[in-house]
């Protein structure tokens, strides 16, 4: 045993350094205490609610109790009816969506078939249909039509005849309409 009367400052420092220290305490114990208190409070509130509900039922007459039970049953039945209606509505909507999807698929298929037919008619060589009685009005138009029939694009036709591209496009557009 160490006598406190004979200790000097160095001895006290040596003793303090050799004394085990407590590890630092984190927030965990405080959190555990708070959680325990919350659980106890929740249980107490629940008990109070149960007692209040039991008192109200004891204060109710048998007729009032029966009416309360009927009200609860009606509410449950109405909720089940609403859910059944929602289920039926969901089935109807699903059927309508399926019908529309099938119709869209048919329309897409028809459009694809028409596109193939249209591309086939576009790929066929075209011969300009001229009426023998109607003479060509302008030799420039005749030249543009000949170059277009050879498959030249409008830019090259414009270079060939030394005219603006817009004029060539206009001449070709008149040919399509007339």
Which residue bears the tokens 């009416």?
67
Burial class (CB in 10 A: 0-12, 13-18, 19+), 85: exposed
53-to-49, 60, 73, 127 alpha-carbon distances in Å: 6, 11, 18, 96
Q: What is the pTM of this model?
A: 0.31
* CA distance linking residue 141 with residue 174, whole number of Å: 10
Spatial neighbors of 2 by CB under 8 A, at least 6 apart, are 11, 15
> What is the structure's pLDDT at 133?
44
State residue 26's pLDDT score.
76
**How many Å separate Cα 166 from the centre of its chain?**
47
Residues of the chain with pLDDT under 50: 132-134
The pLDDT tens digits for 90-130 are: 999 899 989 999 999 999 999 999 998 888 887 766 655 55
State residue 174's pLDDT score: 86
Whether 168 contacts 158, CB under 8 Å = yes
Give the pLDDT of residue 127.
59
Per-domain boundaries in the chain: 68-123, 139-177
pLDDT recorded at residue 134: 47
Amino acid 58: pLDDT? 73
Per-residue pLDDT, 25: 66
Percent helix, strand and coil across the chain, each to the nearest 5: 80, 0, 20
At residue 58, the 3 state secondary structure works out as helix
Give the model's pLDDT for residue 40: 96
């Amino acid at each position: 045993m160490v006598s406190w009367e004979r200790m000097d400052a160095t001895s006290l420092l040596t003793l303090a350094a050799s004394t085990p220290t407590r590890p630092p305490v984190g927030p965990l114990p405080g959190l555990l205490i708070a959680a325990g208190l919350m659980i106890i409070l929740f249980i107490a509130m629940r008990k109070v609610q149960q007692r209040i509900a039991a008192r109200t039922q004891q204060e109710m007459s048998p007729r009032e109790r029966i009416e309360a039970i009927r009200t609860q049953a009606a509410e449950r039945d109405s909720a089940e009816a609403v859910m059944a209606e929602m289920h039926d509505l969901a089935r109807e909507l699903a059927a309508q969506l399926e019908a529309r999807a099938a119709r869209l698929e048919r329309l897409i298929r028809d459009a694809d078939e028409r596109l193939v037919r249209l591309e086939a008619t576009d790929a066929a060589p075209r011969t300009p249909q001229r009426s023998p009685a109607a003479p060509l009005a302008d030799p420039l138009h005749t030249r543009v039509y000949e170059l277009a029939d050879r498959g030249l694009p409008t830019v090259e036709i414009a270079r060939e005849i030394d005219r603006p591209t817009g004029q060539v496009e206009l001449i070709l557009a008149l040919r399509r309409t007339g």
